[in-house]
Structure 1
Amino acid sequence: MNSYLIACYGKARFPSRSAARRRARQIRGTGGPAFTNYRCRWCRHVHLAHRPGQATHLRAGPHGPIPVQEYAA
């Protein structure tokens, strides 16, 4: 898996930080997790990311994402 696939592929792209913040507030308002936004170095658009400590899945796993509750620390 290369850096592009990890950072950009398959993620929603927003034209501005204000649009990303608006969508993050909508998700949070419906009971979803807290998000932050960042400018992608690959596509130059803005993506949403989980805030530290708020992730629901880990990326590593041979059969897809592993829910945090199943991860043995």
Structure 2
Amino acid sequence: MANVDRQAKEMFSRLIKQLSGNEDVTEALKVKNQMLWRQKMNNPRNAAMEIISHMTVDYFKLIRYNEKL
């Protein structure tokens, strides 16, 4: 279980970096306009959270399915 948690956190961080690059969210923007940076970061963060949540649920469904076999 701890391994799944660690992997999910690592994937979450990678996804945020990838998705925020698509939104043109940079450290320069963070320094210049923190409110706009936060607004733009919400989309990638929410998308990453959604992806991780679905993957985790699917993972545990698979484990439960295999236990029944």
Same fold (TM over 0.5): no
- Structure holding more strand per residue: 1
Using CA pairs below 8 Å that are at least 6 residues apart, which structure has the higher relative contact order?
2
- Work out which of the two has the higher radius of gyration on C-alpha atoms and give 1 or 2: 2
TM tier, smaller: under 0.3
- Structure holding more helix per residue: 2
Report the TM-score when normalising by structure 2.
0.25
